[in-house]
Amino acid sequence: MPEWTREQKKAIDSRDGSILVSAAAGSGKTAVLVQRVIERLKNEDKPCSADRLLIVTFTRAATAQMKDRIYRALLSEIEKNPDNDHLKKQAVMLPFANISTIDSFCNDIVRENFHDLDIAPDYGILDNSQLALMCDDAASRVMDELYRENSPEFAELVNIMANGADDSALTGLICKLYDGSMAFARPEAFLDGLIEAYRSDLPLEKQPWGRTIIEYAEGSAEYCRQLCEKMVKAADGDEVVGEKYGGGIKEVCLAVDSIIKTLESGTWDEIRNTFLTAVIPTLGRLPNKYSSPQAELCKNHRKTIADRVKKTAELFCASE
319 found inside a domain: no
212 found inside a domain: yes
Predicted pLDDT at 320: 64
Say if residue 280 is in the same domain as residue 180.
Answer: no
Q: Give the residue-averaged pLDDT of 51-65.
A: 91
As a whole number, the mean pLDDT across the chain is: 90
150 found inside a domain: yes
1 found inside a domain: no
List all residues 6 or more positions away from 299 whose beta carbon is below 8 Å from its beta carbon.
283
CATH number for position 98: 3.40.50.300
pLDDT, tens digit, 9 for 90 and up, residues 294-309: 999 999 999 999 999 9
122 found inside a domain: no
pLDDT, tens digit, 9 for 90 and up, residues 20-50: 988 888 888 889 999 999 998 888 788 788 9
In angstroms, rounded to a whole number, what is the distance separating the alpha carbons of residues 109 and 98?
12
Closest CA to 278 of 244, 316, 238, 243: 316
Say if residue 17 is in the same domain as residue 79.
Answer: yes
Predicted pLDDT at 1: 60
Domain boundary among 149, 174, 196: 196
- 37's enclosing H/E stretch is helix 29-42
In angstroms, rounded to a whole number, what is the distance separating the alpha carbons of residues 200 and 206?
10
Domain boundary among 169, 196, 223: 196
Predicted pLDDT at 150: 86
Band the pLDDT of 244: cuts 50, 70, 90: very high
Predicted pLDDT at 204: 82
What percent of the chain has pLDDT above 90?
Answer: 57
Do residues 92 and 101 make contact, with C-beta atoms less than 8 angstroms apart? no
Backbone phi, psi, residue 83, to 5°: -95, 5
In angstroms, rounded to a whole number, what is the distance separating the alpha carbons of residues 110 and 117?
8
Judged by average pLDDT, the poorest of 112-116, 158-162, 175-179 is: 158-162
82 found inside a domain: yes
Domain boundary among 196, 215, 234: 196
Say if residue 100 is in the same domain as residue 166.
Answer: no
Say if residue 71 is in the same domain as residue 163.
Answer: no
Say if residue 213 is in the same domain as residue 302.
Answer: yes
Band the pLDDT of 264: cuts 50, 70, 90: very high
pLDDT, tens digit, 9 for 90 and up, residues 157-175: 888 787 777 888 888 889 9
57 bridge partner residues: 101
pLDDT, tens digit, 9 for 90 and up, residues 266-283: 999 999 999 999 999 999
Closest CA to 313 of 272, 280, 281, 257: 272
Count, residues in the chain: 320
Band the pLDDT of 127: cuts 50, 70, 90: confident
Say if residue 229 is in the same domain as residue 302.
Answer: yes
- Which domain does 167 fall in, by range? 128-196
How many other CB atoms are found less than 10 A from the CB of residue 204?
21
pLDDT, tens digit, 9 for 90 and up, residues 84-94: 888 899 999 99
Q: Find how far residue 93's CA is from the centre of its chain.
A: 40
Stated pTM of the model: 0.50
